[in-house]
Amino acid sequence: NLFDHDECDYLFKTILVGDSAVGKSNLLSRFSKDEFHLDSKPTIGVEFAYRNMKIGDKIVKAQVWDTAGQERFRAITSSYYRGALGAMLVYDITRRGTFENLRKWLHELREYGSRDMVIILVGNKSDLIDSREVDTEDGQSLAQLEDLCFMETSAKENLNVEDAFLQMITKIFEIAS
Ligand code: GDP
Ligand code: MG
Protein backbone atom coordinates (compact mmCIF):
# COMPACT_ATOMS: atom_id res chain seq x y z
CA ASN A 1 0.00 0.00 0.00
CA LEU A 2 1.51 3.24 -1.21
CA PHE A 3 -0.06 5.19 1.64
CA ASP A 4 1.00 3.00 4.51
CA HIS A 5 3.27 4.94 6.87
CA ASP A 6 5.64 2.05 7.44
CA GLU A 7 6.07 0.97 3.89
CA CYS A 8 8.30 3.58 2.40
CA ASP A 9 11.94 3.22 1.43
CA TYR A 10 12.90 6.83 2.13
CA LEU A 11 11.50 9.68 4.18
CA PHE A 12 12.67 13.14 3.19
CA LYS A 13 12.00 16.24 5.25
CA THR A 14 11.54 19.29 3.08
CA ILE A 15 10.53 22.84 3.99
CA LEU A 16 8.72 25.78 2.46
CA VAL A 17 10.23 29.23 2.89
CA GLY A 18 9.54 32.69 1.52
CA ASP A 19 7.59 35.82 2.39
CA SER A 20 4.08 35.82 3.73
CA ALA A 21 1.23 35.34 1.22
CA VAL A 22 3.39 34.16 -1.68
CA GLY A 23 1.34 30.95 -1.75
CA LYS A 24 3.37 28.45 0.28
CA SER A 25 0.40 26.91 2.07
CA ASN A 26 -1.58 26.64 -1.15
CA LEU A 27 1.31 24.99 -2.97
CA LEU A 28 1.37 22.46 -0.14
CA SER A 29 -2.39 21.86 -0.11
CA ARG A 30 -2.37 21.51 -3.89
CA PHE A 31 0.47 19.01 -3.70
CA SER A 32 -0.81 17.00 -0.72
CA LYS A 33 -4.60 17.21 -1.15
CA ASP A 34 -5.16 18.79 -4.57
CA GLU A 35 -6.92 21.69 -2.85
CA PHE A 36 -6.73 25.45 -3.34
CA HIS A 37 -8.12 28.13 -1.01
CA LEU A 38 -8.87 31.67 -2.08
CA ASP A 39 -8.51 33.05 1.43
CA SER A 40 -5.30 32.96 3.40
CA LYS A 41 -5.54 31.54 6.88
CA PRO A 42 -2.01 31.36 8.24
CA THR A 43 -3.09 30.75 11.82
CA ILE A 44 -4.71 27.43 11.05
CA GLY A 45 -1.90 26.26 8.82
CA VAL A 46 -0.76 22.71 9.33
CA GLU A 47 2.73 21.99 10.56
CA PHE A 48 3.47 19.59 7.79
CA ALA A 49 1.91 17.26 5.25
CA TYR A 50 2.99 14.02 3.65
CA ARG A 51 2.79 12.60 0.21
CA ASN A 52 4.21 9.40 -1.16
CA MET A 53 5.86 9.36 -4.55
CA LYS A 54 7.30 6.57 -6.58
CA ILE A 55 10.80 7.14 -7.92
CA GLY A 56 12.09 4.22 -9.92
CA ASP A 57 11.12 1.18 -7.85
CA LYS A 58 11.35 3.04 -4.53
CA ILE A 59 8.62 4.65 -2.50
CA VAL A 60 9.63 8.03 -1.17
CA LYS A 61 7.63 9.78 1.50
CA ALA A 62 7.94 13.52 1.15
CA GLN A 63 7.31 15.30 4.43
CA VAL A 64 6.77 18.96 3.64
CA TRP A 65 6.88 21.52 6.46
CA ASP A 66 4.93 24.75 6.29
CA THR A 67 5.70 27.89 8.28
CA ALA A 68 2.15 28.23 9.65
CA GLY A 69 2.38 32.00 9.36
CA GLN A 70 5.51 32.47 11.45
CA GLU A 71 7.32 34.09 8.52
CA ARG A 72 5.35 37.23 9.27
CA PHE A 73 7.28 37.75 12.46
CA ARG A 74 10.57 36.33 11.30
CA ALA A 75 10.02 33.75 13.96
CA ILE A 76 11.11 30.67 12.06
CA THR A 77 13.32 28.71 14.40
CA SER A 78 16.37 26.66 13.61
CA SER A 79 14.42 23.45 14.33
CA TYR A 80 12.35 24.19 11.24
CA TYR A 81 15.50 23.92 9.13
CA ARG A 82 17.02 21.03 11.06
CA GLY A 83 17.25 17.81 9.06
CA ALA A 84 15.67 19.32 5.96
CA LEU A 85 17.09 17.82 2.80
CA GLY A 86 15.21 20.13 0.47
CA ALA A 87 13.72 23.60 0.48
CA MET A 88 11.20 25.23 -1.77
CA LEU A 89 11.99 28.94 -1.80
CA VAL A 90 8.87 30.75 -2.95
CA TYR A 91 8.22 34.28 -4.19
CA ASP A 92 5.17 35.91 -5.76
CA ILE A 93 5.67 37.00 -9.39
CA THR A 94 3.17 39.84 -8.82
CA ARG A 95 5.09 41.39 -5.92
CA ARG A 96 8.65 42.53 -6.62
CA GLY A 97 9.40 42.85 -2.92
CA THR A 98 9.01 39.11 -2.39
CA PHE A 99 11.69 38.58 -5.04
CA GLU A 100 14.01 41.17 -3.48
CA ASN A 101 13.69 39.37 -0.14
CA LEU A 102 15.03 36.11 -1.61
CA ARG A 103 18.51 37.27 -0.66
CA LYS A 104 17.49 37.27 2.98
CA TRP A 105 15.89 33.83 2.68
CA LEU A 106 18.92 32.35 0.93
CA HIS A 107 21.08 33.72 3.70
CA GLU A 108 18.86 31.99 6.30
CA LEU A 109 18.85 28.74 4.35
CA ARG A 110 22.61 28.73 4.19
CA GLU A 111 22.99 29.68 7.81
CA TYR A 112 20.57 27.12 9.27
CA GLY A 113 20.24 24.54 6.54
CA SER A 114 22.54 21.67 5.72
CA ARG A 115 25.31 22.21 3.21
CA ASP A 116 23.95 19.94 0.50
CA MET A 117 20.31 20.94 0.88
CA VAL A 118 18.48 20.92 -2.46
CA ILE A 119 16.89 24.31 -3.06
CA ILE A 120 14.28 24.91 -5.71
CA LEU A 121 13.32 28.49 -6.49
CA VAL A 122 9.62 28.87 -7.25
CA GLY A 123 7.91 31.94 -8.73
CA ASN A 124 4.26 31.37 -7.82
CA LYS A 125 0.99 32.89 -9.12
CA SER A 126 1.94 32.54 -12.79
CA ASP A 127 -1.79 32.69 -13.59
CA LEU A 128 -1.84 36.42 -12.75
CA ILE A 129 -0.25 37.47 -16.05
CA ASP A 130 -1.57 41.04 -15.98
CA SER A 131 -0.05 41.86 -12.59
CA ARG A 132 3.37 40.35 -13.19
CA GLU A 133 6.21 42.37 -11.60
CA VAL A 134 9.01 39.80 -11.88
CA ASP A 135 10.06 38.54 -15.33
CA THR A 136 10.69 34.85 -15.82
CA GLU A 137 14.24 35.76 -16.86
CA ASP A 138 14.88 37.40 -13.47
CA GLY A 139 14.02 34.15 -11.72
CA GLN A 140 16.15 32.17 -14.14
CA SER A 141 19.16 34.45 -13.71
CA LEU A 142 19.01 34.32 -9.94
CA ALA A 143 18.66 30.53 -10.02
CA GLN A 144 21.68 30.25 -12.30
CA LEU A 145 23.73 32.62 -10.16
CA GLU A 146 22.88 30.78 -6.93
CA ASP A 147 22.92 27.31 -8.46
CA LEU A 148 19.26 26.49 -7.77
CA CYS A 149 16.56 24.70 -9.71
CA PHE A 150 13.84 27.05 -10.92
CA MET A 151 10.19 26.86 -11.88
CA GLU A 152 7.18 29.14 -12.17
CA THR A 153 3.99 27.71 -10.72
CA SER A 154 0.34 28.43 -10.12
CA ALA A 155 -1.17 26.76 -7.08
CA LYS A 156 -4.51 28.16 -8.24
CA GLU A 157 -4.46 26.73 -11.75
CA ASN A 158 -2.39 23.72 -10.74
CA LEU A 159 0.47 24.58 -13.09
CA ASN A 160 3.88 22.98 -12.44
CA VAL A 161 3.12 22.32 -8.78
CA GLU A 162 3.57 18.57 -9.06
CA ASP A 163 6.65 19.09 -11.25
CA ALA A 164 8.29 21.46 -8.80
CA PHE A 165 7.92 19.06 -5.87
CA LEU A 166 8.91 16.11 -8.02
CA GLN A 167 12.05 17.90 -9.19
CA MET A 168 13.05 18.67 -5.61
CA ILE A 169 12.34 15.14 -4.36
CA THR A 170 14.12 13.52 -7.32
CA LYS A 171 17.23 15.63 -6.72
CA ILE A 172 17.27 14.68 -3.04
CA PHE A 173 16.79 11.04 -4.03
CA GLU A 174 19.79 11.22 -6.35
CA ILE A 175 21.93 12.60 -3.55
CA ALA A 176 20.62 10.25 -0.86
CA SER A 177 20.60 6.97 -2.73
P1 GDP B 1 1.52 31.80 2.33
O2 GDP B 1 1.36 32.89 3.33
O3 GDP B 1 2.84 31.90 1.62
O4 GDP B 1 1.28 30.44 2.91
O5 GDP B 1 0.41 32.05 1.18
P6 GDP B 1 -1.04 31.39 1.02
O7 GDP B 1 -0.93 30.01 0.45
O8 GDP B 1 -1.81 31.55 2.26
O9 GDP B 1 -1.66 32.30 -0.15
C10 GDP B 1 -1.80 33.71 0.01
C11 GDP B 1 -2.88 34.21 -0.92
O12 GDP B 1 -2.47 34.03 -2.28
C13 GDP B 1 -4.22 33.47 -0.79
O14 GDP B 1 -5.26 34.41 -0.94
C15 GDP B 1 -4.21 32.50 -1.93
O16 GDP B 1 -5.51 32.20 -2.38
C17 GDP B 1 -3.41 33.26 -2.99
N18 GDP B 1 -2.68 32.37 -3.90
C19 GDP B 1 -1.82 31.37 -3.58
N20 GDP B 1 -1.31 30.79 -4.67
C21 GDP B 1 -1.86 31.43 -5.73
C22 GDP B 1 -1.75 31.28 -7.15
O23 GDP B 1 -1.02 30.42 -7.70
N24 GDP B 1 -2.47 32.15 -7.93
C25 GDP B 1 -3.29 33.09 -7.41
N26 GDP B 1 -3.97 33.88 -8.24
N27 GDP B 1 -3.43 33.26 -6.06
C28 GDP B 1 -2.73 32.44 -5.25
MG1 MG C 1 0.97 29.92 4.90
**Ligand 1: nearest atom to the Cα of 37:** 16
Round to whole Å and give the CA distance between 65 and 151: 19
pLDDT digits (tens, 9 = 90+) for 27-64: 999 999 998 988 876 555 568 899 999 998 999 999 99
Share of the chain above pLDDT 90, in %: 76
Q: How far is CA 44 from CA 9, 69, 87, 123, 141, in A?
A: 31, 9, 22, 24, 35
Q: How far is the CA of 32 from the centre of ligand 1 (A)?
A: 15
pLDDT of residue 42: 59
Round to whole Å and give the CA distance between 166 and 2: 16
What's the sign of the alpha-carbon dihedral 169, 120, 39, 162? negative
The model carries a pTM of 0.93
**Ligand 1: nearest atom to the Cα of 66:** 4
11 forms bridges with which residues in the sheet?
A: 61
Q: Take atom 9 of ligand 1 and give the residue whose Cα is closest.
A: 23
Q: What is the mean pLDDT of residues 126-140?
A: 98
The answer to whether the CB of 40 is under 6 A from ligand 1 is yes
Q: Write down the mean pLDDT value for the chain.
A: 90
**0.90 surpassed by complex ipTM:** yes
pLDDT of residue 151: 98
pLDDT of residue 1: 44
